[in-house]
Amino acid sequence: MSDSDSIPSDPLHDIAEIPPLGGIWGRLVSGLDRLFALLASLALLAIAAVVILQVVSRVALPSSPAWTEELSRYLFIYMVSLSSGLVLRRNRHVNVELFQHLLGRRSQLVYRALCCLVVGVFSAWMIPYAMQFAQVGAFQTSPTLEVHMHYIFFSTVALFGLSALYAAIGLIEASVAIARGGSTHTGETP
């Protein structure tokens, strides 16, 4: 046995993970995860391609296209919006862990369920305002791409909608895990 095998895990990273749902609902949520991860990854790749195009055009061409900066900004906005639910689901958002590692597994699940509830309620409350904000862009177009800005402003609806959806999923999964007694069983079927 090597020394690396006997190293204890980091207690700050041992915060209870919410076990995913099993069965058809688990596969549906997993499919949503893959879809939004793919869309966010495609947006990131598109950002890289646009930035590379801008760098190459500044170095090798007499002039660089003006639309690259604008497109990269819009792709970044949508990348963040599309990945917001995944970040919440995987507990990868910025948070302050002051006391969670001191709690037992069941209490950590209750805490995570409470966080999902607060985020979900706030996000659901913000959706109508985000829709109003998106409608403001109906009469505007972007300067260089001439895209209707309501498509860009709709990213706020996607952000809050996906955050509310994934908060509800997290709340359901945490509730199921709490009802099962806080066990590490994922509920996945073979």
Q: Give the three-state DSSP class for 141.
A: strand
Question: The whole model's pTM is what?
Answer: 0.82
What is the structure's pLDDT at 106?
87
Residue 30: what pLDDT? 92
| Phi, psi of 9, rounded to the nearest 5 degrees | -75, 160
Six token digits for residue 137 = 């862009």
Cβ atoms 187, 22 nearer than 8 A: yes
| DSSP 8-state code for residue 154 | H
20: left (phi over 0), alpha (psi -120 to 50) or beta: beta
pLDDT the model gives residue 161: 97
Q: What pLDDT sits at residue 15?
A: 57
For residue 74, the model assigns a pLDDT of 96
The amino acid at residue 147 is: V
pLDDT tens digits, one per residue of 19-68: 777 888 889 999 999 999 999 999 999 999 999 999 999 899 888 888 99
Look up tokens 């995987």; give the residue. 90
Please, where are the H alpha helices in 67-148?
67-89, 105-136
Residue 62 has what pLDDT? Answer: 87
d(CA 79, CA 38): 10
186 pLDDT higher than 50: no
Residue 148 bridge partners (DSSP):
141
% residues pLDDT > 70 (the chain): 87
pLDDT value, residue 182: 62
pLDDT in tens, 14-27: 555 777 778 888 89
pLDDT tens-digit profile of 75-107?
999 999 999 999 988 887 777 777 877 888 888
Query: What tens digit of pLDDT does each residue of 1-16 get?
Result: 444 444 444 544 455 5
Confidence band, pLDDT 50/70/90 cuts, at residue 159 = very high
Handedness of CA 175, 103, 164, 70 (dihedral sign): negative
Give the span between the Cα atoms of 59 and 125, in whole angstroms: 47
Radius of gyration (C-alpha) of the chain in whole angstroms: 21
